[in-house]
Structure 1
């Protein structure tokens, strides 16, 4: 049996990898934003400190009379202007000469645009002479902000992909033992001895889970053993009384030819087969022996008519059948009994026989509600029933069909109700096959 594979989007390792990736992404985002914010604040603080230091140096140089502001004493990239008490620009660096002898244009602005670049400003009092205004370009600070933002965005885009791949690989290795155990569990046949799952070398959560499953399997096997033992004891206790009852009813029917006694004898005969089937089931598998006979189809019809009164028969019953009469009667009786239960006392049950050169087909139809769609093929499993019965009859019927080289299928008829089709190989055999079939067949159970 091939083990079922879980779709990748539903697999545990994918979910673990996805959760791991989302958690890692959230942590990286928070940590990255925090680090970038702290870094940019430090850079901003350093820039402001540098601006203040330059402003203080220029003010000291002017008051000391040892510098010429028109020659940019603050260094390259520094903008300076001297403003008098009336707000007029007295002097400026060469790049700002257009503002000289004019009103100061940047009053109260902490940041300005100069020559297409942002610049931060600072002012210093020059005693009674006026005010020193200075601006320092922020190009480097802006570039640093943009670089940090791009780096964070790239990390947020690349990291989830790498995390997902790494998490998938790590999860695959970590859950490899669990996957192997699942594959082995798929191959366990519950009708035989329940095998335990291999435990991984690492005593982790997977080891603990598989160990718990092994203990559960051992308990299940013990319960199954007790159930089989109890079923075997019950069948054994029923076997002897049924054998005596069958023999007594058979002798009584031969003496009296009473129809009711003959019907009771057939029922006792069927119960004997059912008890034997239950015994085989108690041993862990359903095995039956087939005794081949060449019988008229009408004889089979007579037995079924006595076992399930009210059955309607259709088709051609004038031919011959190669089968085990007792077993085939048991299979068809099970189908007809289930159909009668489903149809109710006022419903109809029909058994149709059609024969070709290759196949003999029995079709059982009823006027009941039909088969539950959710059961599907499970309706042929032991103790699964859609009509209120014990659930063993359909399983036995399919087994009998297969022992005859045929098949049993179930469905719902187009006009309503359930439909069971039992197909057997045709009786057109060669001389050698006709002689070999009885010789190879086992005696009737």
Structure 2
């Protein structure tokens, strides 16, 4: 049984110590009881032997065997005689003989005369083991021995057992702890391997799952070895699945990159021909002009989607970005100015420090991060919403926040907000919606710069926070 919250080591040590304590207690109790029984039996044999000649005695020699001056049979520790209404006796108390009192004699007179030893508590002198016999001349003689000998031996044995038991418990706890911890070392190594695997990121990218349980801990003849073998088999299976997933993702990324690259040219051609057709001097029917306008608009939207997909594919492949000083303050001013002109129904605010804020990175990609965040606020908030762009810098990082007081992002959508093709609207209509790639580009570009992005949203307050490493002096 393993109490809740206890480690296996603690539970095993506690079990061993408890088992030792129970066995020691039972063994000690049995030893004490058996030894006391043997001592009492020895006393019974002594008083029985002393009483044997008394039963056969007759004549003047035994007229007063209970007088202290004459000492009774076998010099017993206690002798009492009862005859013709008279009673006398003595007891050896601390090496001296003294006569028994009337109360003590009354306690002894009621002893059964069938020669079976019994224990009597004699007032003033303690427990005695006594036997009563009747002699030939009719005298009842009670002969006894004190139980102090058995009691003292029992106490001494209890003291020795208690001391040895305490020492044994301490030794069992110490040695048992060492042995158990040593025996569980293979299990700890297996757990350490599993813990290292649990800390690896397996959800994306190329994964090299090289961790395995050491061969010394995979002996199938032991329980720990069986666990180690099972974990290694599981890791082999997981590694194979991860490699298959990686190959599949690589093929998908390659396809997306190749398809995006190949689509750029025909899309540009479609857009160019549509624009050229609209500029034709000859009269063009209004329906045809409207169709060409729609072709040009959709080709622009598709071209943007292709460019986003191509960018994500390149970032997934780990292609390096440009590394040059970028003035984030100027990027924020320019981006907010463009959005203010494009969407005057929103209130656009800037919260910038007095000094310019710079980072090292790719200016075009960082501009895209800012534009995507501002565009997201524009598309998903009603007219009159205030959108605030703020910059802060310290010695370790630069923080860019885009906050709005709109209706907020639904709680069930927030965990997937930065996933690809996650949209705020459930419809497939793209007239007023988005491709669902804007926030995923924000995260990919930010992480490519060694930073992070997070979202905090509730009704009336939505804040996107981008953190980038501060430039080193």
Fold conserved between structures, TM > 0.5: yes
227-236 vs 114-123, greater mean Cα deviation: 114-123
Q: 1:399 to 1:140 in 2, by over 3 A?
A: farther
Q: For the residues of structure 2 that align with 1:49 and 1:335, how far apart are their CA atoms? A: 105
Cα deviations across residues 80-107 of structure 1 (Å, max 9, x unaligned)? 1221043x2156568343558x974533
Question: Where does residue 242 of structure 2 map in the other structure?
Answer: 224
Question: Where does residue 26 of structure 1 map in the other structure?
Answer: 22
Q: 1:127 to 1:217 in 2, by over 3 A?
A: same
Alignment of 1:89-238 (within 5 A): 89-90=87-88, 92=90, 95-97=97-99, 99=101, 104-108=106-110, 110-113=119-122, 115-188=124-197, 189=200, 191-200=207-216, 203-238=221-256
Question: Where does residue 270 of structure 1 map in the other structure?
Answer: 308
Question: Where does residue 80 of structure 2 map in the other structure?
Answer: 81
SS of the residue corresponding to residue 401 of structure 2 reads strand
Q: For the residues of structure 2 that align with 1:195 and 1:260, how far apart are their CA atoms? A: 50
Q: 1:20 to 1:353 in 2, by over 3 A?
A: same
Q: For the residues of structure 2 that align with 1:247 and 1:424, how far apart are their CA atoms? A: 35
- The answer to whether 1:314 aligns with 2:349 is yes
- 1:193 Cα deviation (Å)? 2.9
Question: Where does residue 9 of structure 2 map in the other structure?
Answer: 13
SS of the residue corresponding to residue 34 of structure 1 reads helix
- 1:184 Cα deviation (Å)? 4.2
Q: 1:72 to 1:265 in 2, by over 3 A?
A: same
Question: Where does residue 259 of structure 2 map in the other structure?
Answer: 241
- Given candidates 443, 451, 454, the residue that maps to 1:410 is 454
CA contact (8 A) 1:111 1:121 kept: yes
- The answer to whether 1:421 aligns with 2:465 is yes
- 1:133 Cα deviation (Å)? 1.1
SS of the residue corresponding to residue 118 of structure 1 reads strand
- The answer to whether 1:39 aligns with 2:38 is no
TM-score, normalisation: structure 1: 0.70
CA contact (8 A) 2:58 2:136 kept: no
Q: 1:306 to 1:31 in 2, by over 3 A?
A: farther
Unmatched tracts of structure 1, length 5 or more: 1-8, 281-286, 430-445
Q: For the residues of structure 1 that align with 2:270 and 2:390, how far apart are their CA atoms? A: 32
* Structure of higher RCO (CA pairs closer than 8 Å, 6+ residues apart): 1
CA contact (8 A) 1:410 1:420 kept: yes
Q: 1:37 to 1:320 in 2, by over 3 A?
A: closer
Unmatched tracts of structure 2, length 5 or more: 112-118, 202-206, 276-292, 427-435
Q: For the residues of structure 2 that align with 1:21 and 1:233, how far apart are their CA atoms? A: 61
- 1:211 Cα deviation (Å)? 1.5
Q: For the residues of structure 1 that align with 2:241 and 2:377, how far apart are their CA atoms? A: 33
CA contact (8 A) 1:351 1:362 kept: no
TM-score, normalisation: structure 2: 0.67
Question: Where does residue 327 of structure 1 map in the other structure?
Answer: 365
Q: Number of aligned pairs?
A: 405
- 1:145 Cα deviation (Å)? 2.4
Q: For the residues of structure 1 that align with 2:210 and 2:457, how far apart are their CA atoms? A: 39
Cα deviations across residues 412-435 of structure 1 (Å, max 9, x unaligned)? 479975533224467999xxxxxx
Q: 1:52 to 1:132 in 2, by over 3 A?
A: same
Question: Where does residue 286 of structure 2 map in the other structure?
Answer: none
Q: 1:113 to 1:200 in 2, by over 3 A?
A: farther
Q: For the residues of structure 1 that align with 2:130 and 2:11, how far apart are their CA atoms? A: 54
- Aligned-pair Cα RMSD in Å: 5.0
130-139 vs 186-195, greater mean Cα deviation: 186-195
- 1:137 Cα deviation (Å)? 0.7
Q: For the residues of structure 2 that align with 1:392 and 1:34, how far apart are their CA atoms? A: 81
CA contact (8 A) 1:368 1:416 kept: yes
Q: For the residues of structure 2 that align with 1:54 and 1:232, how far apart are their CA atoms? A: 106
- 1:220 Cα deviation (Å)? 0.6
SS of the residue corresponding to residue 219 of structure 1 reads helix
